[in-house]
C-alpha cells in the first residue's frame, strides 16, 4: 500500500462527504471494513473536519455564552476522540511492525507515525479551505491572490510531509528507527487527576 497516497485520498473523501451536507451534526458514514486502517483514517479526518467547523462557529462574536460553553464542551470531547483515534492508528502500526527487529543503533523519532498522520489530516483541511478562499468570487482580488500564495505553501508542505511520513515508515520497517508509543495520559479529563474535579467530588 502506498500509505500516504491512500491516506490523502481517504482524507479528501471524508472532507467531500462532509461538505455534501455541511453540518456539524451530520452522521459519519464510514464504508471501509471494520478493523481496517482505512476505516481509522476516514474516522480520524471526519472528527477533524467536524471540529474544524465547530471552531469556526464558536468564534462568532454574537454567539450566546451558554451556546459557546456547550460548543466548548463538544470541542473538548472531540479532542479526546481525536487523540483516541491517533492512538488506535499507532496501535495498528505497532502490530504491523511487531516482527521488525530494530538495529542496535536505531534512532527514535520525535513523533509517532500516527501523530504525523494527524498533521496530514489537518493539512488536507487547510488545503481544501484555502483553495475555496483562493477562488471565492465574492472576495476581492487581493484576498484571492494572498490565499493563492498561502495555498502554494500548503501544497509544498503536503509534498514534504508525505515524503517524511513515507521515509519514517520505511525506516521503521528497515529497523533504522525504533517505534515507541507513549499514550497521551491527558489529566484534565480524568476525575482522579484534575484537582478541580476530584476536589468537587470530595465535597459531595
Per residue in 141-154, pLDDT tens?
999 999 999 999 99
Whether 1 shows a pLDDT value over 70: the answer reads no
Phi, psi (rounded to 5 degrees) for 177: -130, 135
Q: Count of residues for the chain? A: 204
CA distances from 134 to 124, 131, 154 (A): 15, 5, 12
The confidence band for 85, taking pLDDT boundaries of 50, 70 and 90, is: very high
The confidence band for 36, taking pLDDT boundaries of 50, 70 and 90, is: very high
Percent of the chain exceeding pLDDT 90 equals 86
Element housing 107 (H / E): strand 107-108
Q: How many CB atoms lie within 10 A of CB 92?
A: 17
Give the bridge partners for 107, in sequence order: 177
Q: Which residues of 19-28 are buried (b: 16+ CB within 10 A; e: fewer)?
A: eeeeebebee
Per residue in 59-77, pLDDT tens?
999 999 999 999 999 999 9
Per residue in 109-138, pLDDT tens?
999 999 999 999 999 999 999 999 999 999
Q: Are 82 and 186 in contact (CB under 8 A)?
A: no
Whether 13 shows a pLDDT value over 80: the answer reads yes
The grid cell for 9 is 485520498
Per residue in 163-204, pLDDT tens?
999 999 999 999 999 998 877 666 666 666 667 666 766 665
- Report the predicted TM-score, pTM, of the whole model to 2 decimal places: 0.89
How far apart CA 75 and CA 55 sit, in angstroms, is 8
CA distances from 191 to 69, 71, 86, 182, 195 (A): 19, 21, 22, 21, 8
Which of 89, 161, 70 has its CA nearest to residue 122?
161
Q: Mention every residue, 6+ apart, whose C-beta is less than 8 A from residue 187.
A: 193, 194
Amino acid at each position: 500500500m502506498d500509505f500516504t497516497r491512500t491516506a490523502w485520498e481517504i482524507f479528501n473523501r471524508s472532507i467531500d462527504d462532509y461538505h455534501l451536507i455541511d453540518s456539524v451534526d451530520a452522521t459519519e458514514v464510514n464504508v471501509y471494513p471494520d478493523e481496517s486502517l482505512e476505516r481509522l483514517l476516514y474516522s480520524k479526518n471526519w472528527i477533524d473536519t467536524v471540529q474544524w467547523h465547530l471552531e469556526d462557529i464558536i468564534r462568532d462574536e454574537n454567539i450566546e455564552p451558554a451556546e459557546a460553553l456547550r460548543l466548548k464542551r463538544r470541542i473538548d470531547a472531540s479532542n479526546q476522540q481525536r487523540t483516541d483515534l491517533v492512538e488506535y492508528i499507532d496501535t495498528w502500526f505497532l502490530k504491523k511492525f511487531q516482527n521488525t527487529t530494530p538495529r542496535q543503533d536505531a534512532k527514535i523519532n520525535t513523533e509517532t507515525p500516527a501523530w504525523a498522520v494527524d498533521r496530514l489530516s489537518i493539512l488536507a483541511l487547510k488545503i481544501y479551505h484555502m483553495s475555496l478562499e483562493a477562488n471565492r468570487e465574492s472576495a476581492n482580488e487581493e484576498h484571492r491572490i494572498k490565499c493563492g500564495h498561502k495555498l502554494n505553501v500548503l501544497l509544498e508542505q503536503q509534498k514534504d510531509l508525505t515524503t517524511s511520513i513515507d521515509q519514517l515508515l520505511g525506516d521503521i520497517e528497515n529497523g533504522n528507527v525504533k517505534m515507541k508509543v507513549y499514550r497521551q495520559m491527558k489529566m484534565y479529563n480524568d476525575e482522579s487527576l484534575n484537582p478541580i474535579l476530584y476536589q468537587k467530588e470530595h465535597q459531595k
